[in-house]
Each structure stands twice: as C-alpha cells, then as structure tokens.
Amino acid sequence: MAIFTGAGVAIVTPFHENGEVNYEKFAALLEFQIENGTDAIIVCGTTGEASTLSHEEHLDVIKYCVEKVAGRVPVIAGTGSNCTETAIYLSKEAEKYGVDGLLVVTPYYNKATQNGLYEHFKMIAESVNVPIILYNVPGRTGCNLLPATVVRLCKDVKNIVGVKEASGNISQVAKLMSLADGSVDVYSGNDDQIVPLLSLGGKGVISVLSNVAPKQTHDICAKYFEGDVAGSCKEQLRAIELCDALFCEVNPIPVKKALNLMGMEAGPMRRPLSEMEPENTAKLEKAMKNYGIL
C-alpha cells in the first residue's frame, strides 16, 4: 500500500531575517496545506533547504512537523545525504519521531555507480523500518538512478517502496513502469508532468507548486483518479505558466518569493541562494495573477 496517493507538498522551511527557523510561520504553512487538501507533507527536502540546515536544525524541523501535523496526513522526511553514514543517522533519528516515511535523495557530488547506489540505499533502508521513497533528481545531483536499479531496490528491499522521479525524462519513467510490474510507487517530481506520469501508472506528485496552490495541485490528481482525465488535464495545463515561473530560478528561490508575495512570510533563503532577480519576480507575479492566487 502506498505511503500516500495524490499531491504531497515539498514544503519550504521559513526563516527569520536573521536566518533562524521561523517555527510560527512553519506552523501556519502546515495548517494552510492541510486545510486545502494536501495529501502528504514532505519536510526537509530540496525545497525545504535541507542542505543548509545543521543536523540539529534538520531533525528539529522534522520533529516539529510530525507534532504539528499530528497524524492528519502522512509526513515524509527528507533524510538523504551524499554520505551513507550521515543518511543512516538522519533516517534513524527521524524514525524515532514517528514519520510515516522517508525521502532519500541520490548521493550528490560523489556520482556513485549504479551498484554503489544500490548498496547506499540498501544500507539506509536496512537501518530503519519505515518505508522509503527514493529521490532521483539528476539535474541537481549529477547522478541518475536508472530504472533497473530502482526496480531492483524495490524488489530486493522490503521497505523501499517507490521513487520520486524528477529527471524530467518521461521515456525513463515509461521504461521504469514497464520493468516495475507494479512493484514501484512512482511520484512525479516535476509539477509540469503530473498528468503524463499519472497516465503511466504514477501514484501522485511531490510538489513545489502545492506550496502556493495546494487545492489546485490536489485536484489535478484527484480528478485523474476519479476518472475525470479531461478535467485533470485542464488543471495541469492551466498551471503550466505558473510552474515555469516557479522554476525560472533555482528552487526554492521563486516559491519562497511567491509565498512572500502572498503574505505567507516564508522569509529569506539561506546562502548561497540569493534574492530573486527583479525581472524574474515580475514574471512570477504575472503568472500568479493569471493563475488567480495573487
């Protein structure tokens, strides 16, 4: 059984101007998501700027999220690292807090072989009991987790259950689905490809868009699963301009700017990420107004 079906939000981590985590605003963002039908919360992923959180902050944010969500929707914690031992440490600690699952990214910078990736994920999974979703985002990590490796992991390791596929390569997803034979829960990691991935048998999306449009992102999935493929496709296409604007600079710069424009006070990014360029801010504002959220 899938950890979740539908639209899970890859939630931002709000900061104060001094760079500290703003837990008050984080609580408000969590409530905004749940009130608007989000199907799962994915905390401390790429969008949550996990790479610039200390281990203590990282775990504190996960613990706070689990406590605030209080079982209303599944909480999936990002616990990946390019160091296997660090990923094991973060995963074991997150499990203690009661997360419903873990999202574990391919090790960045190291550029492991497929056999190295297999051993990395297997060692992490065997250190915990909660289900794990692999996270393939080669554009950010320089490392592509190939379909055969994903299928091998899901078949060999009982608590590796799926993958967030953010390669942007629909042909690769189709190859994965053809090999999986139902053994892999696949989630889109690209907001502009939700419907195409669902059409191949995907379970949903782990979404940046959902930060600012949770109900609409939920509805793209819900309509599809209800059999309203045309309605789902219409919602997907309506969101394309906004999806483009949300990725006109590296994530999460635009989505944090969007939340700030909405008055949600997500705060600044941590360095080395910087403030959004004025021309891109104008593009984002225009897309948000056209979409009806500003």
Active-site amino acid positions: 135, 164
- Between CA 48 and CA 105 the distance in angstroms is 13
Coil vs helix vs strand at 250: coil
Name the DSSP class of 15. B
Q: Where are the beta strands (DSSP E) in the chain?
A: 6-10, 40-43, 75-78, 101-105, 132-136, 160-165, 185-188, 204-207
> What is the spatial distance between Cα 258 and Cα 213, in angstroms, rounded to a whole number?
10
Distance of CA 229 to the CA centre of its chain: 23
Q: Which amino acid is at 229?
A: V
With 0-12 / 13-18 / 19 or more C-beta atoms within 10 angstroms meaning exposed / middle / buried, residue 71 is exposed
Contact residues for 134 (Cβ-Cβ < 8 A; gap 6+): 104, 106, 121, 145, 150, 153, 160, 162, 163, 164
Q: Could you give the CA distance from residue 269 to residue 258 in angstroms, rounded to a whole number? A: 13
